[in-house]
Amino acid sequence: MKTEYFKQIQGNPAPLTAEIRRAVRFDELDPLAIMWHGNYASFFEEARVSLCDRHGIGYADFAANNVIIPLRKFYADYFAPLEFGKVYTIRAMLHFNPAARLDFEFKIFDDANRLMTTGCSVHMMLDKRTNNILVAKPEFFETFCQKWLRGEVK
């Protein structure tokens, strides 16, 4: 059940990781009484925001540097349904990429540590003023990535 969304390239630092816990709410269910597939994006997003905010590379940090980070790709593999009222652990991992993009991998586990869902998202970087695609990382993010490469970010 393990899907490799991003290859670990020799010399790149290990992915950064954060976990959150979240219960499935009644309004997130579909007619089958399991979490509707479209709501998995929200679970992934909450973990991603927690990871990025912890490291000073969240939405607000990019916006303060005139960069927006829209979603380019989203993918999910569903192994078992999430159920109403149950609490799950959502793990977000940011993989290092030398390009001006953000590569996230996600895993959702139940309380028995059973892998329920995996997924990924890729976010591109745009100049906030012109909406032009950035081909180089903004300076603040490049500085962060250099620290990550040196092992100063965990």
So where are the chain's domains? Answer: 16-149
Tokens of 47: 């973990």
Instruction: Name 57's Cβ contacts closer than 8 Å, sequence gap at least 6.
Output: 141, 144
pLDDT in tens, 104-150: 999 999 999 999 999 999 999 999 999 999 999 999 999 999 999 99
> What's the pLDDT at 153?
93
Instruction: Give residues with Cβ within 8 angstroms of 116, minimum separation 6.
Output: 78, 79, 80, 81, 82, 88, 108, 109, 110
* Architecture of the structural domain at 16-149: Roll (3.10)
Give the three-class secondary structure for 29: strand
CA–centroid distance for 121 within its chain? 6
Using the predicted structure, report yes or no on whether residue 2 has a pLDDT greater than 90.
Answer: no
